[in-house]
Amino acid sequence: MLKKVFRSGFLVRSGHTVLTWLITLVLFLHDTDLRRCEEKGELMQPVVFSLLVLLSVLLYFTVSLMDPGFILTDTVQGPPGASEEQEAMLPQTAVRRLRRCGYCLLQQPMRAKHCQACQRCVRKFDHHCPWIENCVGEQNHRWFLLYLLVQLGALTWAFHLALSGLSWPQVGWGPWLRAHGVLLGCVGVTGVFSMVVLVLLGCHLYLASTNTTTWEFMSRPRISYLRSWGDGEENPFDRGLLCNLWDFFCVCRTVAWDRVYQRAHRDHV
Protein backbone atom coordinates (compact mmCIF):
# COMPACT_ATOMS: atom_id res chain seq x y z
CA MET A 1 0.00 0.00 0.00
CA LEU A 2 2.82 2.43 0.87
CA LYS A 3 4.44 1.81 -2.51
CA LYS A 4 1.18 2.79 -4.20
CA VAL A 5 0.89 5.94 -2.11
CA PHE A 6 4.42 7.13 -2.89
CA ARG A 7 4.47 6.38 -6.61
CA SER A 8 4.22 9.01 -9.35
CA GLY A 9 0.74 10.16 -8.29
CA PHE A 10 1.88 11.17 -4.79
CA LEU A 11 2.02 14.90 -5.63
CA VAL A 12 -1.39 14.86 -7.33
CA ARG A 13 -3.05 13.10 -4.40
CA SER A 14 -1.29 15.29 -1.85
CA GLY A 15 -2.31 18.44 -3.73
CA HIS A 16 -5.93 17.28 -3.94
CA THR A 17 -6.04 16.49 -0.21
CA VAL A 18 -4.33 19.71 0.89
CA LEU A 19 -6.57 21.86 -1.32
CA THR A 20 -9.70 20.10 -0.02
CA TRP A 21 -8.91 20.65 3.64
CA LEU A 22 -7.53 24.15 3.04
CA ILE A 23 -10.83 25.26 1.50
CA THR A 24 -12.71 23.56 4.35
CA LEU A 25 -10.57 25.43 6.89
CA VAL A 26 -11.18 28.77 5.13
CA LEU A 27 -14.94 28.17 5.24
CA PHE A 28 -14.77 27.54 8.99
CA LEU A 29 -12.55 30.55 9.77
CA HIS A 30 -14.40 33.19 7.74
CA ASP A 31 -17.83 34.63 8.49
CA THR A 32 -19.80 31.99 6.60
CA ASP A 33 -22.90 30.02 7.55
CA LEU A 34 -20.62 27.40 9.15
CA ARG A 35 -19.04 29.97 11.44
CA ARG A 36 -22.42 31.44 12.34
CA CYS A 37 -23.80 28.01 13.20
CA GLU A 38 -20.78 27.34 15.44
CA GLU A 39 -21.25 30.63 17.26
CA LYS A 40 -24.92 29.81 17.86
CA GLY A 41 -24.04 26.34 19.11
CA GLU A 42 -25.82 24.67 16.19
CA LEU A 43 -23.30 21.98 15.25
CA MET A 44 -25.40 19.83 12.92
CA GLN A 45 -24.43 21.63 9.70
CA PRO A 46 -20.68 21.87 10.48
CA VAL A 47 -20.53 18.19 11.47
CA VAL A 48 -22.45 16.95 8.42
CA PHE A 49 -20.37 19.11 6.07
CA SER A 50 -17.11 17.87 7.63
CA LEU A 51 -18.25 14.24 7.32
CA LEU A 52 -19.19 14.80 3.66
CA VAL A 53 -15.75 16.26 2.93
CA LEU A 54 -14.10 13.36 4.77
CA LEU A 55 -16.18 10.86 2.78
CA SER A 56 -15.15 12.51 -0.49
CA VAL A 57 -11.46 12.25 0.47
CA LEU A 58 -11.83 8.59 1.47
CA LEU A 59 -13.60 7.76 -1.79
CA TYR A 60 -10.90 9.66 -3.70
CA PHE A 61 -8.16 7.48 -2.22
CA THR A 62 -10.27 4.34 -2.65
CA VAL A 63 -10.68 4.94 -6.39
CA SER A 64 -7.13 6.19 -6.74
CA LEU A 65 -5.39 3.23 -5.08
CA MET A 66 -7.60 0.25 -5.92
CA ASP A 67 -7.02 -2.19 -8.77
CA PRO A 68 -9.12 -1.01 -11.75
CA GLY A 69 -9.06 -4.50 -13.27
CA PHE A 70 -5.47 -5.11 -14.34
CA ILE A 71 -4.96 -8.25 -16.44
CA LEU A 72 -2.28 -10.42 -14.84
CA THR A 73 -2.43 -13.61 -16.93
CA ASP A 74 -3.72 -14.81 -20.29
CA THR A 75 -7.50 -14.81 -20.22
CA VAL A 76 -8.20 -17.75 -22.55
CA GLN A 77 -6.24 -20.97 -22.56
CA GLY A 78 -6.81 -24.35 -24.05
CA PRO A 79 -7.38 -27.56 -22.04
CA PRO A 80 -4.50 -28.63 -19.76
CA GLY A 81 -1.69 -30.14 -21.82
CA ALA A 82 -3.17 -28.99 -25.12
CA SER A 83 -0.74 -28.28 -27.93
CA GLU A 84 -0.80 -25.17 -30.11
CA GLU A 85 -2.40 -27.22 -32.89
CA GLN A 86 -5.15 -28.40 -30.53
CA GLU A 87 -5.72 -24.88 -29.25
CA ALA A 88 -6.05 -23.68 -32.84
CA MET A 89 -8.93 -26.14 -33.26
CA LEU A 90 -10.98 -24.46 -30.53
CA PRO A 91 -14.22 -22.83 -31.76
CA GLN A 92 -13.36 -19.57 -33.42
CA THR A 93 -16.32 -17.83 -31.79
CA ALA A 94 -14.53 -18.23 -28.46
CA VAL A 95 -11.18 -16.78 -29.44
CA ARG A 96 -11.37 -14.92 -32.74
CA ARG A 97 -11.86 -11.53 -31.14
CA LEU A 98 -9.08 -11.90 -28.58
CA ARG A 99 -5.73 -10.42 -29.43
CA ARG A 100 -2.37 -10.38 -27.74
CA CYS A 101 -1.24 -7.02 -26.39
CA GLY A 102 1.82 -5.68 -28.17
CA TYR A 103 3.19 -4.19 -24.93
CA CYS A 104 2.65 -6.67 -22.07
CA LEU A 105 2.16 -9.70 -24.42
CA LEU A 106 -0.97 -10.91 -22.61
CA GLN A 107 -4.20 -11.94 -24.30
CA GLN A 108 -6.75 -9.19 -23.91
CA PRO A 109 -10.40 -10.05 -23.24
CA MET A 110 -13.00 -8.08 -25.14
CA ARG A 111 -13.34 -4.42 -24.02
CA ALA A 112 -9.84 -4.43 -22.50
CA LYS A 113 -7.12 -1.95 -23.47
CA HIS A 114 -3.49 -1.32 -22.63
CA CYS A 115 -2.94 1.90 -20.66
CA GLN A 116 0.27 3.68 -21.62
CA ALA A 117 0.38 5.58 -18.31
CA CYS A 118 -0.08 2.52 -16.06
CA GLN A 119 1.79 0.16 -18.44
CA ARG A 120 -0.88 -2.51 -17.83
CA CYS A 121 -3.90 -3.91 -19.65
CA VAL A 122 -7.20 -3.07 -17.96
CA ARG A 123 -10.49 -4.97 -18.17
CA LYS A 124 -13.39 -2.94 -19.57
CA PHE A 125 -11.06 0.03 -19.88
CA ASP A 126 -12.85 3.39 -19.57
CA HIS A 127 -10.04 5.96 -19.38
CA HIS A 128 -6.92 6.93 -17.48
CA CYS A 129 -7.81 9.76 -15.11
CA PRO A 130 -4.94 12.16 -14.27
CA TRP A 131 -7.04 13.54 -11.40
CA ILE A 132 -6.75 10.23 -9.50
CA GLU A 133 -3.55 9.05 -11.24
CA ASN A 134 -5.16 5.71 -11.97
CA CYS A 135 -7.17 3.95 -14.63
CA VAL A 136 -10.93 3.68 -14.45
CA GLY A 137 -11.92 0.15 -15.38
CA GLU A 138 -14.19 -2.76 -14.59
CA GLN A 139 -13.47 -2.95 -10.85
CA ASN A 140 -13.44 0.71 -9.84
CA HIS A 141 -15.77 2.41 -12.36
CA ARG A 142 -18.82 2.32 -10.05
CA TRP A 143 -16.70 3.65 -7.20
CA PHE A 144 -15.45 6.43 -9.47
CA LEU A 145 -19.02 7.45 -10.25
CA LEU A 146 -19.96 7.34 -6.55
CA TYR A 147 -16.93 9.51 -5.79
CA LEU A 148 -18.03 12.05 -8.41
CA LEU A 149 -21.50 12.18 -6.85
CA VAL A 150 -20.17 12.78 -3.32
CA GLN A 151 -17.56 15.24 -4.60
CA LEU A 152 -20.24 17.23 -6.44
CA GLY A 153 -22.29 17.44 -3.25
CA ALA A 154 -19.30 18.66 -1.24
CA LEU A 155 -18.26 21.19 -3.89
CA THR A 156 -21.69 22.73 -4.41
CA TRP A 157 -22.22 22.98 -0.65
CA ALA A 158 -18.78 24.60 -0.26
CA PHE A 159 -19.63 27.02 -3.09
CA HIS A 160 -22.83 28.03 -1.30
CA LEU A 161 -21.00 28.45 2.01
CA ALA A 162 -18.30 30.59 0.41
CA LEU A 163 -20.95 32.85 -1.13
CA SER A 164 -22.63 33.19 2.28
CA GLY A 165 -19.47 34.84 3.60
CA LEU A 166 -19.47 37.61 0.99
CA SER A 167 -21.30 40.89 1.49
CA TRP A 168 -21.60 44.09 -0.54
CA PRO A 169 -18.58 46.36 0.15
CA GLN A 170 -19.32 49.25 2.53
CA VAL A 171 -15.92 51.00 2.69
CA GLY A 172 -14.59 50.63 -0.86
CA TRP A 173 -13.38 47.80 -3.02
CA GLY A 174 -9.75 47.82 -1.89
CA PRO A 175 -10.29 46.98 1.80
CA TRP A 176 -13.13 44.63 0.86
CA LEU A 177 -10.93 42.64 -1.55
CA ARG A 178 -8.15 42.39 1.03
CA ALA A 179 -10.63 41.07 3.59
CA HIS A 180 -12.45 38.68 1.24
CA GLY A 181 -9.76 37.76 -1.29
CA VAL A 182 -9.24 34.24 0.08
CA LEU A 183 -12.97 33.62 0.22
CA LEU A 184 -13.33 34.85 -3.37
CA GLY A 185 -10.65 32.36 -4.36
CA CYS A 186 -12.68 29.60 -2.72
CA VAL A 187 -15.76 30.73 -4.66
CA GLY A 188 -13.81 30.55 -7.94
CA VAL A 189 -12.20 27.16 -7.22
CA THR A 190 -15.36 25.46 -5.96
CA GLY A 191 -17.45 26.98 -8.77
CA VAL A 192 -15.12 25.79 -11.54
CA PHE A 193 -14.65 22.34 -10.07
CA SER A 194 -18.40 21.99 -9.47
CA MET A 195 -19.04 22.53 -13.18
CA VAL A 196 -16.29 20.09 -14.19
CA VAL A 197 -17.54 17.36 -11.83
CA LEU A 198 -21.15 17.95 -12.91
CA VAL A 199 -20.21 17.42 -16.57
CA LEU A 200 -18.15 14.31 -15.73
CA LEU A 201 -20.94 12.86 -13.60
CA GLY A 202 -23.53 13.46 -16.34
CA CYS A 203 -21.29 11.86 -18.99
CA HIS A 204 -20.54 8.78 -16.90
CA LEU A 205 -24.18 8.31 -15.90
CA TYR A 206 -25.09 8.39 -19.59
CA LEU A 207 -22.32 5.90 -20.45
CA ALA A 208 -23.38 3.59 -17.61
CA SER A 209 -27.01 3.74 -18.77
CA THR A 210 -25.96 2.60 -22.27
CA ASN A 211 -23.26 0.13 -21.12
CA THR A 212 -20.57 2.02 -23.02
CA THR A 213 -17.10 3.09 -21.94
CA THR A 214 -15.45 6.42 -22.65
CA TRP A 215 -12.87 4.66 -24.82
CA GLU A 216 -15.59 2.92 -26.87
CA PHE A 217 -17.61 6.12 -27.20
CA MET A 218 -14.64 8.20 -28.38
CA SER A 219 -12.86 5.58 -30.52
CA ARG A 220 -15.63 3.45 -32.01
CA PRO A 221 -14.23 3.53 -35.61
CA ARG A 222 -10.89 2.16 -34.36
CA ILE A 223 -12.30 -0.70 -32.24
CA SER A 224 -12.61 -3.91 -34.23
CA TYR A 225 -15.53 -5.53 -32.37
CA LEU A 226 -17.61 -2.32 -32.69
CA ARG A 227 -16.51 -1.50 -36.23
CA SER A 228 -17.56 -4.96 -37.43
CA TRP A 229 -20.94 -4.61 -35.73
CA GLY A 230 -22.07 -1.97 -38.22
CA ASP A 231 -21.79 1.63 -39.26
CA GLY A 232 -24.49 2.87 -36.90
CA GLU A 233 -24.30 3.77 -33.22
CA GLU A 234 -25.89 0.51 -32.03
CA ASN A 235 -24.11 -1.00 -29.03
CA PRO A 236 -23.89 -4.82 -28.76
CA PHE A 237 -23.61 -4.63 -24.96
CA ASP A 238 -26.70 -2.45 -24.42
CA ARG A 239 -29.40 -4.43 -22.56
CA GLY A 240 -31.73 -1.52 -21.81
CA LEU A 241 -31.59 1.28 -19.26
CA LEU A 242 -32.61 -0.65 -16.13
CA CYS A 243 -30.52 -3.74 -16.87
CA ASN A 244 -27.49 -1.62 -17.75
CA LEU A 245 -27.69 0.35 -14.49
CA TRP A 246 -28.30 -2.83 -12.47
CA ASP A 247 -25.25 -4.50 -14.03
CA PHE A 248 -23.12 -1.41 -13.54
CA PHE A 249 -23.89 -0.84 -9.87
CA CYS A 250 -24.78 -4.31 -8.58
CA VAL A 251 -22.81 -6.91 -10.56
CA CYS A 252 -19.44 -7.20 -8.81
CA ARG A 253 -17.74 -9.89 -10.87
CA THR A 254 -15.65 -10.26 -13.99
CA VAL A 255 -17.92 -10.41 -17.02
CA ALA A 256 -17.13 -12.53 -20.08
CA TRP A 257 -17.95 -9.80 -22.60
CA ASP A 258 -17.12 -12.02 -25.57
CA ARG A 259 -20.05 -14.27 -24.60
CA VAL A 260 -22.34 -11.27 -24.19
CA TYR A 261 -21.20 -10.11 -27.62
CA GLN A 262 -21.89 -13.53 -29.18
CA ARG A 263 -25.42 -13.66 -27.76
CA ALA A 264 -26.09 -10.15 -29.02
CA HIS A 265 -24.69 -11.10 -32.42
CA ARG A 266 -27.02 -14.11 -32.69
CA ASP A 267 -30.02 -11.95 -31.74
CA HIS A 268 -28.85 -9.23 -34.12
CA VAL A 269 -28.59 -11.64 -37.03
Q: Which residues are catalytic?
A: 129
- Other CB atoms within a 10 A radius of the CB of residue 65 amount to 17
Q: What distance lies between CA 46 and its chain's CA centroid? A: 28
Alpha-helical (H) ranges within 89-227 are: 92-95, 141-164, 173-210, 214-218, 224-227
Q: Which residues contact 153 (CB under 8 A, 6 or more apart)?
A: 52, 56
**Integer angstrom CA distances of residue 105 from 56, 69, 79, 120:** 37, 17, 20, 10
Cα(52)–Cα(59) distance, rounded to whole angstroms? Answer: 11
In the chain, the amino acid numbered 245 is L
Rounded Cα–Cα distance for residues 28 and 162 (Å)? 10
d(CA 152, CA 194): 6
Q: How far apart are CA 145 and CA 138, in angstroms?
A: 12
